[in-house]
Chain A
Amino acid sequence: MSEGRLLAAAGFWVVLWLPPVRSALESDMAVHMAVQLPLLIAIGVLAAPPLRRFEPRLLADADWLGIPGLVLAAFATSLWMLPRMLDQALADPLAELGKFLSLPLLGGLPLGLSWRRMPGLGRAFVWANFIPKLGAVGGLYLAAPTRLCAYYGVDQQAEAGWTLITVAAALGLVSFVAVFAGRPRAMFAPHDGPA
């Protein structure tokens, strides 16, 4: 099972790295931001459970309530939300490789490892903050007075803004329905860390 997950994550990574897939996912700014980047993060999350047993004790102990891991994931993912970094990834193969490595390893993997250590309240707080900030980033893309990316036009920039706002709204709605109906496991399930 563990090996299966690792193989799936690796296979998934290779598929995303294939030039036709890459160019398809990067040809549009909204798809780049709302599909490719989350998929790369998801690869790290998928690989987290089998890799947990290899996590150095020192790192596990230092990851108090999952906060350091979540902060690392937040920085790694935020970096690739910047227009300059999107451009860089398209212009420079090394930067592209950096994106393909950093998002699973510094974004998804710490997220997958630390999420279970975080108490339910912390998870809910992160989630409740993530949704409006995603919407706010979308709003900022819409409000940007100039073209932000050399590789994407203003129309694609606006489309990306609306996509992020739509994703934020959808996540908010789904989360609310889940909590209202009584299936909030993702947020309030028992955690591994100290209470």
Chain B
Amino acid sequence: MTTEAIGTRSTPIGARTAVLAYLAVSGVVLLLMMLFGATMRLAQAQWISLDPTWFYIILTMHGAGMVGIAGLSGAAVMWYFVGRYVPVSTAVFLANLGFFLVGAVLILGSGFIGGFAAAWTFLFPLPAHSGSLWSINAAACYLFGLISIGVGFLLLHLDIVRGILSVYGGLGAGLGFKQGFGLAPEDTGPPPAVAASTMVAIVNIVGIVFGAAILVMSLVNLYVPSFTFNALVAKNMIYLFGHIFINATIYMAVIAVYEILPRYTHRAWKTNWAFYLAWVMSTLMVLTVYPHHLLMDFAMPTWALVAGQIISWLSGLPVLLVTAFGALTNTYRSGLKWDAASGLVFLGVAGWAIGVIPAILDGTIAINSVMHNTQWVPGHFHTYLLLGMIAMMLGFMTWLGGAKSPLGLAPVGFWLYLVGGSIFVLAFLSAGSASVPRRYAVHLQAWLPYDEIGSIGACLAIAGVAILVVRFLAGLRSAAAGGDDSVR
């Protein structure tokens, strides 16, 4: 089937401004969080001095902030494009931004004022056992911050579900379930943006529901410590929520690939039964793959760990394959003129595809037992998030607002980001393969070369992203006024 991906409905100015607000917040917070990350790498390289207490606070803030900003910017991509096919509410979209900002303030306050440093995963019972490094109130502040962000995203996804139901009648139809199994003609399937948004809504609502339950229970435990619960159950719930949420950011951002590349190539994105089946399969697998985060938990049932390994090998592949194949066929001999926006979107697919390989390795029990606590782990997730998801987001940002910017330099920003980001993730992966541990504030002398190279990569990547974000911010006013979504 050939979907009508090329501008079916123009976006009202109010909605466009809202999306630009999302991207502006995302860009600024992204840069701030990248600076936090670079600070940690520079400290590990011993190029700057950083108190270990502050290292773990920054580690927590960096993790929570990056996950949040990936979600927020991914939501901007998804909402902008799905709003062309189904009715969505700008008020709800802005409410999500409001809840996010409240949550961000609470989380940053919990860390930089309250000293909360239990990592973004807030694994039970750590928030309540700080060793006097942070107070119960600081931990509660962090958990309330996450709840606030969760409330906003729940509203947003429910609103999108409402829109999908009003047009397609059911989430199965929005996902292209029948088309995926050959029960309906391919040409009656939903556009890629709708299928992706349906999948994200399903998995994220489930994830947020579990996240809300464990957050409430953790809050009770903070103030009534005698209320304890099974730590392994808590870890399962946290990783179910955490894995789904961060994974969903990629599936939101990938909509930029489906929608922006066709505008450059003047070829509509082709969908068929395999495309829809891939999204159905990924929906199931994203919901069930999280045990690969618990491969070192010996108390987990063996079947769950084996399932986690097998599903890890398969989880990202269906959508990745149809997307990568689709991107290649869409661009091959299309005569498109590459620019920073199209390059970033295309790079996003490549970064995602490359990042999945070390992820699959890490999802293998035999390898995970050696690599889990090494820098291999931040290496793989930085590959598909920094060079995958964030690349797609930056591509969307550049496409939507960058062309209106009075500043040039987009190619400079692109190459600095690509080269710096590649050096950065390779330093992590190399260090991981040499068994350099992750989450250590202080490193041995032998580990420093990896940290130094990683620091250089981080600084280059930050410079590149800074150029792209500043360009976007400089062109905000004219971007808000413009409504031209054609190729620039």
Query: How distant is B90 from chain A, measured CB to nearest CB, in Å?
Result: 13
Asked if residues B213 and A135 are in contact (CB atoms below 8 Å), the reply is: yes
Asked if residues A188 and B162 are in contact (CB atoms below 8 Å), the reply is: yes
A133 close to chain B: CB less than 8 A: yes
Asked if residues B217 and A125 are in contact (CB atoms below 8 Å), the reply is: no
Query: How distant is B165 from chain A, measured CB to nearest CB, in Å?
Result: 6
A24 close to chain B: CB less than 8 A: no
- Contact of A128 with B158 at beta-carbon distance under 8 Å, contacts A121-B92, A133-B212, A182-B165 already known: yes
Asked if residues B172 and A182 are in contact (CB atoms below 8 Å), the reply is: yes
Contact with B along A60-99 (1 / 0, CB 8 A): 0000000000000000000000000000000000000000
- Contact of A139 with B226 at beta-carbon distance under 8 Å, contacts A121-B158, A182-B169 already known: no
Q: Which of A118-137 contact B (CB under 8 A)?
A: 120-121, 124-125, 128-129, 131-133, 135-136
Asked if residues A179 and B171 are in contact (CB atoms below 8 Å), the reply is: yes
Contact with A along B197-209 (1 / 0, CB 8 A): 0000010011011
A7 close to chain B: CB less than 8 A: no
Q: Which residues of B contact A129 (CB under 8 A)?
A: 154, 212
Asked if residues A181 and B158 are in contact (CB atoms below 8 Å), the reply is: no
Partner of B227, one of A128, A133, A140, A180: A140
Query: How distant is B167 from chain A, measured CB to nearest CB, in Å?
Result: 11
In the complex, A59 Cα to B138 Cα: how many Å? 41
In the complex, A125 Cα to B312 Cα: how many Å? 31
Q: Which residues of A contact B228 (CB under 8 A)?
A: 143, 145
A49 close to chain B: CB less than 8 A: no
In the complex, A144 Cα to B158 Cα: how many Å? 33
Asked if residues B229 and A139 are in contact (CB atoms below 8 Å), the reply is: yes
Asked if residues A139 and B217 are in contact (CB atoms below 8 Å), the reply is: yes
A193 close to chain B: CB less than 8 A: no
Q: Which residues of B contact A124 (CB under 8 A)?
A: 158, 161-162
In the complex, A146 Cα to B202 Cα: how many Å? 37
Asked if residues B170 and A136 are in contact (CB atoms below 8 Å), the reply is: no
Asked if residues B213 and A125 are in contact (CB atoms below 8 Å), the reply is: no
- Contact of A184 with B213 at beta-carbon distance under 8 Å, contacts A121-B92, A121-B159, A125-B154 already known: no
Q: Which of A168-183 contact B (CB under 8 A)?
A: 172, 176, 179-183
- Contact of A133 with B213 at beta-carbon distance under 8 Å, contacts A121-B158, A128-B205 already known: yes
In the complex, A142 Cα to B159 Cα: how many Å? 34
Q: Which residues of B contact A144 (CB under 8 A)?
A: 227
Q: Which residues of B contact A121 (CB under 8 A)?
A: 89, 92, 155, 158-159, 162
Contacts across chains A and B counted by CB atoms under 8 Å: 80
In the complex, A131 Cα to B210 Cα: how many Å? 10
In the complex, A181 Cα to B174 Cα: how many Å? 10
B370 close to chain A: CB less than 8 A: no
Q: Which residues of B contact A180 (CB under 8 A)?
A: 170-172, 177, 202
Q: Which residues of A contact B105 (CB under 8 A)?
A: none
Q: Which residues of B contact A179 (CB under 8 A)?
A: 161, 165, 170-171
Asked if residues B158 and A125 are in contact (CB atoms below 8 Å), the reply is: yes
Asked if residues A181 and B170 are in contact (CB atoms below 8 Å), the reply is: yes
Main secondary structure of the interface of B (DSSP, over half): helix
Count residues of B near A (Cβ-Cβ below 8 Å): 34
B149 close to chain A: CB less than 8 A: no
Cβ-closest chain B residue relative to A134:
B213
In the complex, A48 Cα to B206 Cα: how many Å? 32
Cβ-closest chain B residue relative to A137:
B216
In the complex, A129 Cα to B158 Cα: how many Å? 12
Asked if residues B227 and A143 are in contact (CB atoms below 8 Å), the reply is: yes
Q: Which of A141-195 contact B (CB under 8 A)?
A: 142-146, 172, 176, 179-184, 188
Query: How distant is B3 from chain A, measured CB to nearest CB, in Å?
Result: 21
B173 close to chain A: CB less than 8 A: yes
B220 close to chain A: CB less than 8 A: yes
Q: Which residues of B contact A188 (CB under 8 A)?
A: 162, 165-166
Asked if residues A182 and B213 are in contact (CB atoms below 8 Å), the reply is: no
Q: Which residues of B contact A125 (CB under 8 A)?
A: 154-155, 158
Q: Which residues of A contact B162 (CB under 8 A)?
A: 120-121, 124, 188
Cβ-closest chain B residue relative to A145:
B226
Interface centre among B155, B209, B210 (most CB of A within 10 A): B209
Q: Which residues of A contact B208 (CB under 8 A)?
A: 128
Q: Which residues of B contact A136 (CB under 8 A)?
A: 212-214, 216-217
- Contact of A184 with B165 at beta-carbon distance under 8 Å, contacts A136-B216, A179-B171 already known: yes
Asked if residues B229 and A142 are in contact (CB atoms below 8 Å), the reply is: yes
Query: How distant is B395 from chain A, measured CB to nearest CB, in Å?
Result: 31
Q: Which of B172-226 contact A (CB under 8 A)?
A: 172-173, 177, 202, 205-206, 208-210, 212-214, 216-217, 220, 226
Asked if residues A182 and B173 are in contact (CB atoms below 8 Å), the reply is: yes
Partner of B213, one of A132, A142, A143, A145: A132
Cβ-closest chain A residue relative to B171:
A180
Q: Which residues of B contact A183 (CB under 8 A)?
A: 170
Q: Which residues of A contact B173 (CB under 8 A)?
A: 182
Query: How distant is B331 from chain A, measured CB to nearest CB, in Å?
Result: 34
Asked if residues A132 and B210 are in contact (CB atoms below 8 Å), the reply is: yes
Q: A129-B212, A132-B210 are in contact. List 4 more A-B contacts (CB 8 A).
A: A132-B209, A132-B213, A179-B161, A181-B170
Write 30 A-B pairs (CB below 8 A) sorted by A numbering: A121-B89, A121-B155, A124-B161, A125-B155, A129-B154, A129-B212, A131-B209, A132-B209, A132-B210, A133-B212, A133-B216, A135-B213, A136-B212, A136-B217, A140-B229, A143-B228, A143-B229, A145-B227, A176-B206, A179-B161, A180-B170, A180-B171, A181-B172, A182-B165, A182-B168, A182-B169, A182-B170, A182-B173, A184-B165, A188-B162
